Amino acid sequence: MDMVLQAIVAAMQPAVLAATTAGALVGLVVSAIPGLTFSLALILVMPFTFAMDPIPAIAMLLGVYSGGMTGGAVSAVLIGIPGTPSAAATVFDGYAMARKGEASVALGAAVIASAFGGVFSLVVMMMLLEPIAALAIRFGPAEIFALVLFGLSTICGLAERSLVRGLIAGVLGLMIMTIGLDEIDGVGRLTFGTVQLQQGVHMLVAMIGLFAVPQVIGTFAGHGRVKPEIVTEDVRGLLPWSRLHGYWGLMTRASVIGTVVGAVPGTGGPIASFLAYDHARRFSRNPDAYGTGEIGGVVAPEAANNAVMGGALIPMLSLGIPGDAATAIILGGLLIHGLQPGPLLFQSNLDVIYALYVTVIVSWFVILLVQVAGIRVFVKVLRVPAHLLAVCIMVLCAIGAYAARNSIFDVYAMAVFGLGGYLLQRARIPLAPVVLGLVLGPTLEQQYRTALILSEGSHRIFLESPVALVFFALTAAIIGWQIRSSLARGGTSAA
């Protein structure tokens, strides 16, 4: 108990509070800009932490992480472009809500769900660190492959009207991600002998292109003829608590998905948020409302992607194994301050660990406060005339695409993907499954091949793992369910 009190005192020091607040603000702002992710924010902030004491330094990095996870939803809702890949699933219903004149409700719901997911995963981390770390280690390549395959089956739910078109879109997404040097053998694929293509397609760059460019083209193509679709609104009340009645169970389940997926090394926020989105739609009494501005389609992915944070910190702190790019950077920050993650950290530096827990909670308070104050300001974006907004979006997206890898090639790549996306839209091929393919493709391929290397080429490795079998069964169930409901609807949408 003494330790806990000391930790609270340590985390409430002015320097620590200032560091947490600054970190959360930087994370929020940077990740609200499409293309600038919290990983970039972490790299930018890192040199400032070198000279700090350990607790404020780590507090700042964690503040950036939690702020960054929530910031991505702001642009997802307001302009229909995810600020970070983890917010991609938030676009579908968040942007639809904004177009129905409910932008502030969507943003409010997103921030409540984010804080809920973040604090939920933190509590799980505090209570169940060791069992979850032990569970995470049991996920080897075969199990991760099965999990990701299950994620891919959610394509059924994203395919909108035609399953065939949905599958075409999904395969396109998978194919795009095979460009470049493959992760296992370092062999170039579809590179046409150029070094630029060897680095492959950056997931975020393709995503910005697909979400932003068709929208911008649409704005200009319809300029002067189409009435502005977006309804401006008056913001009433601070946060839409009443609208969330009946969604707390969903948020809890989405947070569980996020925490578990986050704890498995090699997965991460984008996968978790798509799984949570699909879960919400599938278990909704009104699945057809999803995609047209259903609040459940905002709270589920947002709770999940923020829960990923606590999940990802579990193997990072207890085993020293970073689960994704962001935790890898935070790991560097811990090492710099002489904190070696691993089982011993919990014996030798328990004070620091407790202080970190308190810090994360403080950062959520800061984020809530900022977002509540900010929503009124953010929604003013919607009053900007569509054609002017489109120009700003284009500029921001070009900067974001450049910043992804400091490469001008990515700006051109974004434009190419955007044009491709526009053509697909015209051909009535949905873009959401393309995005799902982008998110899942690399992990799916890499884990499948690694599993086969482990088993020296035998597919039995997939059948010998109970965990993998459970996910295969779930995948089969979802596909069967989809086929049955297609047939029941009279076969119009069946493959």
Kindly indicate which of the ranges 206-214, 286-294, 317-325, 355-363 contains the residues binding other proteins, using the contact rule CB under 8 A. Answer: 317-325
Q: How far is the CB of 186 from other proteins (least distance, A)?
A: 4
Is residue 421 part of the contact set for other proteins (CB under 8 A)? no
What is the x/- site pattern for other proteins, positions 204-223, by CB under 8 A? --------------------
Is residue 332 part of the contact set for other proteins (CB under 8 A)? yes
Phi/psi at 200 (5° precision): 80, 180
Is residue 13 part of the contact set for other proteins (CB under 8 A)? no
Among 242, 286, 406, 492, binds other proteins (CB under 8 A): 406
Is residue 135 part of the contact set for other proteins (CB under 8 A)? no
Q: How far is the CB of 162 from other proteins (least distance, A)?
A: 35
Asked if 421 and 160 touch (Cβ cutoff 8 Å), the reply is no
Kindly indicate which of the ranges 100-108, 276-284, 332-340, 358-366 contains the residues binding other proteins, using the contact rule CB under 8 A. Answer: 332-340
Q: Is 188 helix (H, G, I), strand (E, B) or coil?
A: strand
Reported in sequence order, the residue ranges of 388-492 that DSSP labels E, i.e. its strands, are none
Nearer to other proteins (CB atom), residue 287 or residue 332: 332
Among 82, 157, 310, 315, binds other proteins (CB under 8 A): 315
Is residue 403 part of the contact set for other proteins (CB under 8 A)? yes
Is residue 184 part of the contact set for other proteins (CB under 8 A)? yes
Is residue 265 part of the contact set for other proteins (CB under 8 A)? yes
Among 319, 384, 415, 467, binds other proteins (CB under 8 A): 319
Is residue 372 part of the contact set for other proteins (CB under 8 A)? no
Q: How far is the CB of 431 from other proteins (least distance, A)?
A: 25
Nearest to 152 by CA among 430, 459, 446, 434: 434
Q: How many residues bind other proteins (CB under 8 A)?
A: 71
> Rule CB under 8 A: which of 37-56 touch other proteins?
43-50, 52, 56
> Rule CB under 8 A: which of 55-74 touch other proteins?
56-57, 60
d(CA 141, CA 308): 19
Report helix angle 88-99 to 54-79, nearest 10.
50
Q: Is 178 helix (H, G, I), strand (E, B) or coil?
A: coil
Among 80, 200, 258, 430, binds other proteins (CB under 8 A): 200
Alpha-carbon Rg for the chain in angstroms = 22
d(CA 457, CA 461): 9
Place of tokens 């910190």: 313
Q: Which long-range contacts (CB under 8 A, 24 or more apart) does 40-49 make?
A: 40/403, 41/67, 41/68, 42/68, 42/326, 42/329, 42/330, 43/329, 46/329, 46/332, 46/333, 49/333, 49/336
Give the type of residue at 217: I
Nearer to other proteins (CB atom), residue 136 or residue 304: 136
Place of tokens 């938030």: 90
Phi/psi at 188 (5° precision): -75, 135
Is residue 196 part of the contact set for other proteins (CB under 8 A)? yes
Place of tokens 């011993």: 344
Kindly indicate which of the ranges 119-127, 162-170, 183-191, 208-216 contains the residues binding other proteins, using the contact rule CB under 8 A. Answer: 183-191
Q: How far is the CB of 477 from other proteins (least distance, A)?
A: 27
Distances (CA, A) of 106 to 93, 96, 235, 239, 293: 9, 9, 11, 10, 9
Kindly indicate which of the ranges 176-184, 249-257, 356-364, 381-389 contains the residues binding other proteins, using the contact rule CB under 8 A. Answer: 176-184
